[in-house]
Every structure is written in structure tokens, then in C-alpha cells.
Amino acid sequence: MTRHIFVLTGAGVSAESGLGTFRDKAGEGIWAQFDPMKLATPEAFAHDPETVLAFYDARRRNLLSAAPNAAHTALARLEATLASAGGELSLVTQNIDDLHERAGSQRVIHMHGELLKARCLNCECVHLWPEDLPASESCPACRTGGLRPHIVWFGEMPFHKDEIEQALARADFFVAIGTSGAVYPAAGFAAEARALGIPTLEINLKAADNAVIFDAARYGPASVIVPAWVEEVTVGLGGKI
Ligand code: BV8
């Protein structure tokens, strides 16, 4: 019986909540409208902090007016049902939104950071920051450093590497939901699972760049496919829907 499920989510799980995806719709994704190298790198922030901060202010405001969808809610239900059956859900997200948490997920591993947090450039203290972040803002803790979004930019090391590797090593099922498989190291997790002999499932609107390595796939909107999949899994665990 599946006891420890490792779920990796990407922008597609939040698409139906109105948050942008990055590269899946030709010409419509965030990175089709904005150059990630000018907005999502430490060099871009050093060169033009105001422009980078304004980009994230706009996304933060959009997030605050968004709501979780049925996929987020189903994953929160899966976490609770697995826990009550003595199992475990490792929910790793590439997303910087808080929709998994707002849907009730208790343990969310944000490998690319969080849009509603800011980090001090001097003391590295991380603060909850659900409002605009001006370049002039100083750290509430050390009062000397400036602040940056607590987000992993391109060329920066993703967070929680060891925790993610340990979770993957003890998983008995791997599911990727709403991710294009274009960004590493997240895109490599499915291949790592396969190499560990863990069955893999892709849930996506359409086949991702790394679709070929999955053992199985279910295509359609996450708000439809994820609840149906969670129901199948939790019934097997004696879960209450
Ligand atoms: C690092 C935060 C090393 C910012 C992001 C190996 C090979 C090649 C390149 C590299 C490599 N290793 C490192 C790199 C470089 C780089 C990289 O991978 N580049 C790619 C583009 C080639 N990686 C990095 O820089 C990473 N750092 O490796 O550091 C290191 C070593 C030592 C010391 C220092 C450093 C850091 C990467 C993190 C960058 N930050 N996000 C922000 O958000 O502004 S990444 C960015 O892409 C997004 O944030 C997102 O998290 C990520 C992945 O995108 P997806 O979530 O998959 O979204 P996408 O739009 O692409 O796809 C959406 C999917 O949803 C589609 O499949 C679509 O079909 C589906 N969908 C749409 N609607 C629905 C749906 N599915 C279901 N239902 C729907 N309704």
C-alpha cells in the first residue's frame, strides 16, 4: 500500500487560481512577457532593484487577491489522510505562492522560496512580508540591511536540498503536478525517483518536457485531475472524502 507519497508542484497547480504560469502558453507565460534574466537573477536585482521589486510587488498583489483551487484542497486532504493512516505526504513546490498553505497543507517545502517573505541582505533574517517591498525598506531586525524577496532566482541554490533528497529516498510514489520539467534541479526529481525504483506519475494539462520518463500520466486541468486522483488514493487508505 502507498504509504509515503512525494508530490512536486509547479505553476500549473495555481493556474486555475489566476496566478500566471511561466512558459507553457506560447507568448502568454510570465517569461514570455518579462525577461527572467532581467528580473529573476541576483545580478538583475543588484543592477536595478526598483524594477525587480516592482515585478514582485505586482505578483504579490495578484497573489493576495487569489484563492486556492480544488487541486490545492485535495492535496491538503491527502496529507491529512496519509498522516491518519500512518503514512506521509512530502509536498515540494516550485511555486512561491501560499495557496497550498491557505488550502490547509501543514508541511509545504518551498524550494524556490516564498513571495510573501522578505530576507535581509545583511543579517539574512527572513520576515513575513505580505505588502509592497520598496528598495528603501530596512530590515526590522538589524535595522542596517536592505531587504530582498525571499525567492530563489536563477543561478541561486534552491532551498531545502537535503530535506528534499531524504524525502525522495523514503518515498514509494512520485507525482509531478503542473510543471513543465524545464527548471533544474526540480526537473531532475522524476528521473531520480525512477532511478530509485519509485513509480512516477505526471499530472499536467499536457505532456511536459520530461514526460517520457514518467511511468504514467493523467492530462487535464489540475482542479479536476488532482481531486480524482486523491480520491482513488485515499479510498485505498480508508480515507474519508
Ligand atoms: C541552480 C522563482 C545551482 C522566481 C524560479 C541543469 C541543466 C540546465 C540548466 C540548469 C541546470 N542546473 C541549473 C540550471 C540553471 C537553471 C535552470 O534550470 N534553467 C532552465 C531555465 C534551463 N536553474 C537554476 O538556476 C536553479 N539554481 O540550479 O543553482 C547552483 C549551484 C551551486 C551554487 C549556486 C547555484 C534555480 C532555479 C529557480 C529559479 N526560480 N522561480 C520567480 O518565480 O520569479 S524558477 C521558475 O520556473 C518558476 O518560478 C517555477 O518555479 C519554475 C518551473 O516552472 P513551472 O512551475 O514548471 O511552470 P511553467 O510555466 O514552466 O509550466 C507550467 C506547467 O503547468 C506546464 O507544464 C503546463 O502544461 C501546466 N499547466 C498549466 N495550466 C495547468 C497546468 N497543469 C494542470 N492544470 C492546469 N490548469
Predicted confidence at residue 173, as pLDDT, reads: 97
Which CATH superfamily is 1-19+68-112+158-241 part of? TPP-binding domain (3.40.50.1220)
Confidence of residue 119 (pLDDT cuts 50, 70, 90): very high
Q: Pinpoint the alpha helices (H) of the chain.
A: 30-33, 36-39, 42-47, 49-64, 70-84, 99-102, 161-169, 189-195, 222-236
pLDDT digits (tens, 9 = 90+) for 120-130: 999 999 999 99
pTM of this structure = 0.95
Q: What is the mean pLDDT of the chain?
A: 94
Q: Known catalytic residue: 112?
A: yes
Q: Specify the CATH number for 24-65+113-151; select among 3.30.1600.10, 3.40.50.10190, 3.30.1540.10, 3.20.20.70.
A: 3.30.1600.10
pLDDT digits (tens, 9 = 90+) for 145-184: 899 999 999 999 999 999 999 999 999 999 999 999 999 9
Predicted confidence at residue 195, as pLDDT, reads: 97
Taking CA 71 as the corner, what is the angle to CA 233 and CA 219, rounded to the nearest 5 degrees?
Answer: 75
Predicted confidence at residue 172, as pLDDT, reads: 96
Domains of the chain, residue spans:
1-19+68-112+158-241, 24-65+113-151
Which range has the worst mean pLDDT, 35-39, 66-70, 224-228, 237-241?
237-241
d(CA 59, CA 227): 27
Predicted confidence at residue 237, as pLDDT, reads: 66
Residue of 100, 110, 112, 150 with catalytic role: 112
- Ligand 1 lining (C-beta closer than 6 Å): 10-12, 15-16, 21-24, 29, 40, 94, 96, 112, 151-158, 178-180, 182-185, 204-206, 208, 221-222
Predicted confidence at residue 157, as pLDDT, reads: 98
Nearest CA to ligand 1 atom 45: 183
Cβ 39 vs Cβ 124: under 8 Å: no
Residue of 117, 148, 184 with the most ligand 1 atoms within 8 Å of its CB, for mutation: 184
pLDDT digits (tens, 9 = 90+) for 67-99: 999 999 999 999 999 999 999 999 999 999 999
Confidence of residue 118 (pLDDT cuts 50, 70, 90): very high
Residue of 9, 14, 17, 22 with the most ligand 1 atoms within 8 Å of its CB, for mutation: 22
Cβ 200 vs Cβ 216: under 8 Å: yes
Give the cell for residue 91: 509536498
Instruction: Quote the ligand 1 centre to 185 CA distance (angstroms).
Output: 8
| Beta-sheet strand order (sheet of 147-151) | 126-128, 113-120, 147-151
Ligand 1 atom with least separation from CA of 95: 51
Q: Compute the radius of gyration of the chain from its Cα atoms.
A: 18
Query: What is the DSSP-derived secondary structure letter of residue 138?
Result: B
- Identify residue 200 by its one-letter amino acid code: T
- 173 vs 26: which has the higher pLDDT: 173
Nearest CA to ligand 1 atom 50: 94
- Is the pLDDT reported for residue 240 higher than 70? no
